[in-house]
Structure 1
């Protein structure tokens, strides 16, 4: 096992010709739906050697690339038993080197694992900024950038153990699913904490912990009946990735002639992926351009690249016992290549869930990327991607609560109008909805610390269709201004480091203001856990009048499961006539209001305070 870890960590210097330096995937499992496994074998000048597996494992194909340091060995795993087999490299009858390769037994019903869905609330964290549970790994000998908490864009020391230490906090808050930004090795010289420039797709960054720690995080989440989403980055890897430093062949990345080291920055025009009027040069400039100088763009039109990514995703799902994957910068990937990737992963795990980051601002553009989209079908395209992100709703949330007066096209009419486009989505439950994330201004910065606006926004978010996601620290009113640098929107969670002045993980450690945010968030999140009408129900909404928005979430076959939401976005106390909403109230005349815990008589009129919301379970 020690040899395996060494091989995966770093390329060994000074090895003899023909010696195995690295094998990927480092192990595999028996009983997989996809029985062919392509094993990457890397070592100095090994292409003239002949691979051989013990245990009567059939080698179906051996591919040599233009780089003699690689062999890609495809084996048939059908019917083999768990155990360790020997992979040998031979020259004639002589064995030059060998490697113990383990085929493991899968977890029971692994292929039927249930992914996250609209019954969940996702809690998104930046692990380097959440909590430091193991100060001994803040800096490591084998990684370049060392910890410096005084540097906004530097490593601060948060890690997997810090997350595990505070899972009870997340659970008690009411979130059901954890999504962490990437944890695999990012060994760039600076600004490596974000993790989106991976140096090794099979290794957890030692400053976060180990692969075993990652699996333990899943285990601890599952003990609490929570789920684990991994952030996966297929579009670009880090310039320091061992494979980028010694490419199997030039066509593994999009190499631009004339650019330094093949670099040309993406034009970031994602619409070229489907724009019928787009020029070829613009489309190529988006899809093939590098995301940044330190992030070479992977060539996913190369079948070997896609196969590598498919196997890597499956390897993490099995070894990390995952419940979902979030895919970074989804529309920048090669469209056909990423479709093959998501299709093959979902074939292996039909009840799994994968969401793509569709950072676009038009509903039709985002709907294009969802599985079975009629928008995509116009061009004969089906992404097979289950979940997309409703970024237009996020855009609206940044505006609507500043608009005290409703005119024809603003105030709550923006939300109402946005939901009228839901017909574009084949599955509106599989929309990720959010108020913020690690790339944009914090929502409480946008609201200038106005608690009432936060309460309105959260009430809306947690009662709409889709899968709500909240960003760590929003629940305590944390601020962050992107214009001051990404580090400002990725601040350290107070109390995550020994010696912090306040510990916002505890009731006594939070300030009075922080507790007001926390208590409201906790009440709503824990209430939402038991609301099937909110999870999977239909929506009936009424056009806003005087900036009051009323809508119902209901199960058509179970009228007793009906939730009524009343939101007053104006700066005035108001009274509404309930007769207008009789279609949604269905004869109910009482409602238990979940925020106050009071029972209301719902007859002719209802009073609602300025900048506030009411959520009723109808009775």
Structure 2
């Protein structure tokens, strides 16, 4: 009995000694059977580099890297032939007690490598979790992070969390949503304005005010039960100033320094300007997005590998279906291409969409995989999907231009799609009317439901992957001119005591229900229609501010009519014979009305039609 007590005490003391030497291990564990066989493990602890590192006989150590900071060791192992299990990593130093640290390789999910990412059959719903729903008020504030919840502060934490999203998945499924893109949920310990979570302080930990790593994995599992997909917002360009590694840099060049801070000039066109001045390119790529977001240096192989492994870790751990990458075109373009390729090599059917906020199709196209524009400079980003910001630009303007002219009104939609030849994969463009960084479309339209219907019809029936912004479907407004917090208001009903609960039909106001019912009808129709997912697009020059286009495949045809004029229009079916293809009639799925296509089609002012040809 005494011997057992002694052994237990000895084990405890050895465990304490190990913990005193090693404060962090990242990745915290890994998986066997990965395409990327080499695993680089980072050990962090006070003067840990004074130790020599070795592994058991069955583990191949590729290399050990020690940097100018003695608190880090980077150990690379070959895991190609290692089965799942725990493996000893030994730390030895003359004159000091040696110790071992167990490292775990886990079994992968079946067919994990072949997971299918989001695509044009999906409709993505963008959520800011802090502003969506508060499912667990007990985590609104947390002792391990600084900022506390205060709904009175426009730019403060409001208490929305993962549990709130899980609790409202039925609402989203009923609406017709098939995927969720959530703005980042990793820990952000910025002392103020941390609710957006883009200044991350620990990229292996869900922010405790949102919940836990386990709850995030639960969210993915609950979504998969409903055939829904989870997309993580991933940030490769920068971390927050409060990140623990920023406070104790592994290497001076872990971040881009001038020395210290210089702001980005935000001129992303310098990335491919053949006449660029090097100083301008440097300030775009190496400059910090803002002072509180140190810019990561992907030219440093340790940084790049850390980011690759962290991204793969979250895909495996949480069973993710995609990434949206923040500020994609601010990264070092060679480094971000290597990051993207490594992930797509590991998961060939995965999908990643990059934020490339530019206002020219050729410049956006440059960043898509196999781009004919990028090929001019022998550049390939390997990024499957980019965001169609030029369509977004047109949407904000054209639906307020009721009188058409040479360059105003619906011609802006037509001209946007004219340039589709610039893209390598036109079905893999993200199309949207608004997001968390833009003015609310219902603010832009001054609460005009008719304009919302026109814009939403276009987004949900044209080519590409549609994305909606939370609350637009109930008419939520917000003015970016009043601050970002105003376009990121709380979803009504997400907090106990809210005046109305828009998650339930009985709780919605008449105005909210008018928006919701239209959106739900169109979303659930689209969900079942492959022709709206991957069908070809045939468009006609707008006449009298009426834009007509068809989505078609071998089996089906849908005719979309968007009358942006305030006046009723009459369409001659003969002009659209190529699209109608001999079909005698069709049904407008928005109203249930049937139309004979041998007769003029009358459409009321500021009205859309989605006619399924039969």
Q: TM-score, normalised by structure 1?
A: 0.95
In the TM superposition, what are the counterparts of 1:163-242 in structure 2 within 5 Å?
Answer: 163-242=165-244
**CA distance in structure 2 between the partners assigned to 1:174 and 1:486 by the alignment:** 27
| Cα deviation 1:73-101 (Å, max 9, x = unaligned) | 00010111111222231114965343232
User: Would the aligned equivalents of 1:533 and 1:561 in 2 still touch at CA under 8 Å?
Assistant: yes
Q: Indicate the SS of the match to 1:146.
A: coil
**CA distance in structure 2 between the partners assigned to 1:140 and 1:100 by the alignment:** 30
Decide which of 499, 502, 507 is 1:501's aligned counterpart. Answer: 499
Decide which of 599, 602, 606 is 2:601's aligned counterpart. Answer: 606
In the TM superposition, what are the counterparts of 1:206-605 in structure 2 within 5 Å?
Answer: 206-257=208-259, 262-555=260-553, 558=554, 560-605=555-600
Decide which of 28, 35, 38 is 1:36's aligned counterpart. Answer: 38
| Cα deviation 1:437-474 (Å, max 9, x = unaligned) | 00011000000000000001001111100000000000
Decide which of 18, 21, 32 is 1:19's aligned counterpart. Answer: 21
**CA distance in structure 1 between the partners assigned to 2:231 and 2:109 by the alignment:** 18
Q: Indicate the SS of the match to 1:421.
A: helix
User: Would the aligned equivalents of 1:231 and 1:326 in 2 still touch at CA under 8 Å?
Assistant: yes
Decide which of 39, 55, 58 is 1:56's aligned counterpart. Answer: 58
**CA distance in structure 1 between the partners assigned to 2:463 and 2:97 by the alignment:** 60
**CA distance in structure 2 between the partners assigned to 1:53 and 1:231 by the alignment:** 35
User: Would the aligned equivalents of 2:127 and 2:181 in 1 still touch at CA under 8 Å?
Assistant: yes
> How far did 1:52 drift?
2.5
**CA distance in structure 1 between the partners assigned to 2:595 and 2:94 by the alignment:** 86
User: Would the aligned equivalents of 1:19 and 1:97 in 2 still touch at CA under 8 Å?
Assistant: no
**CA distance in structure 2 between the partners assigned to 1:100 and 1:182 by the alignment:** 31
| Cα deviation 1:404-424 (Å, max 9, x = unaligned) | 111111110011011100000
Q: Indicate the SS of the match to 1:420.
A: helix
| Cα deviation 1:163-206 (Å, max 9, x = unaligned) | 00001111110010000000000001100110000100100000
> How far did 1:48 drift?
2.1
User: Would the aligned equivalents of 2:18 and 2:100 in 1 still touch at CA under 8 Å?
Assistant: no
**CA distance in structure 1 between the partners assigned to 2:29 and 2:19 by the alignment:** 24
User: Would the aligned equivalents of 1:18 and 1:96 in 2 still touch at CA under 8 Å?
Assistant: no
> How far did 1:604 drift?
3.1
**CA distance in structure 1 between the partners assigned to 2:108 and 2:202 by the alignment:** 24
Q: 1:357 to 1:15 in 2, by over 3 A?
A: farther
Query: Considering only aligned residues, what root-mean-square deviation do their CA atoms show, in Å?
Result: 1.3
User: Would the aligned equivalents of 1:17 and 1:46 in 2 still touch at CA under 8 Å?
Assistant: no
Decide which of 150, 159, 162 is 2:161's aligned counterpart. Answer: 159
**CA distance in structure 2 between the partners assigned to 1:318 and 1:223 by the alignment:** 17
**CA distance in structure 2 between the partners assigned to 1:493 and 1:15 by the alignment:** 48
Structure 2 residue ranges without an equivalent (≥5): 1-15
Q: Equivalent residue for 2:152? A: 150
**CA distance in structure 2 between the partners assigned to 1:18 and 1:277 by the alignment:** 54
User: Would the aligned equivalents of 2:18 and 2:99 in 1 still touch at CA under 8 Å?
Assistant: no
**CA distance in structure 2 between the partners assigned to 1:90 and 1:453 by the alignment:** 69
> Which region of structure 1 is more displaced relative to structure 2, 241-250 or 15-24?
15-24
**CA distance in structure 1 between the partners assigned to 2:17 and 2:404 by the alignment:** 72
Q: Equivalent residue for 1:7? A: none
User: Would the aligned equivalents of 1:360 and 1:366 in 2 still touch at CA under 8 Å?
Assistant: yes
User: Would the aligned equivalents of 2:403 and 2:409 in 1 still touch at CA under 8 Å?
Assistant: yes
Q: 1:17 to 1:464 in 2, by over 3 A?
A: closer
> Which region of structure 1 is more displaced relative to structure 2, 216-225 or 269-278?
269-278
| Cα deviation 1:585-608 (Å, max 9, x = unaligned) | 110011021001222211131100
Q: Indicate the SS of the match to 2:507.
A: coil
**CA distance in structure 2 between the partners assigned to 1:138 and 1:487 by the alignment:** 18
Q: TM-score, normalised by structure 2?
A: 0.96
| Cα deviation 1:492-521 (Å, max 9, x = unaligned) | 000000111110000011100000000000
**CA distance in structure 2 between the partners assigned to 1:496 and 1:610 by the alignment:** 36
**CA distance in structure 2 between the partners assigned to 1:42 and 1:235 by the alignment:** 23
Q: Indicate the SS of the match to 1:62.
A: strand
Q: Equivalent residue for 1:3? A: none
**CA distance in structure 2 between the partners assigned to 1:595 and 1:397 by the alignment:** 21
> How far did 1:56 drift?
1.7
**CA distance in structure 2 between the partners assigned to 1:332 and 1:595 by the alignment:** 41
**CA distance in structure 2 between the partners assigned to 1:304 and 1:356 by the alignment:** 23
**CA distance in structure 2 between the partners assigned to 1:150 and 1:101 by the alignment:** 45
> How far did 1:303 drift?
1.1
> How far did 1:276 drift?
1.3
**CA distance in structure 2 between the partners assigned to 1:96 and 1:513 by the alignment:** 69
Decide which of 101, 108, 120 is 1:99's aligned counterpart. Answer: 101
**CA distance in structure 2 between the partners assigned to 1:599 and 1:530 by the alignment:** 20
**CA distance in structure 2 between the partners assigned to 1:93 and 1:346 by the alignment:** 47
**CA distance in structure 2 between the partners assigned to 1:416 and 1:209 by the alignment:** 45
**CA distance in structure 2 between the partners assigned to 1:405 and 1:251 by the alignment:** 55
> How far did 1:55 drift?
6.5
User: Would the aligned equivalents of 1:17 and 1:44 in 2 still touch at CA under 8 Å?
Assistant: no
**CA distance in structure 1 between the partners assigned to 2:210 and 2:520 by the alignment:** 28
User: Would the aligned equivalents of 1:15 and 1:44 in 2 still touch at CA under 8 Å?
Assistant: no
| Cα deviation 1:564-594 (Å, max 9, x = unaligned) | 1111110101111110000111100110210
> How far did 1:141 drift?
0.8
Structure 1 residue ranges without an equivalent (≥5): 1-13
Q: Equivalent residue for 2:4? A: none
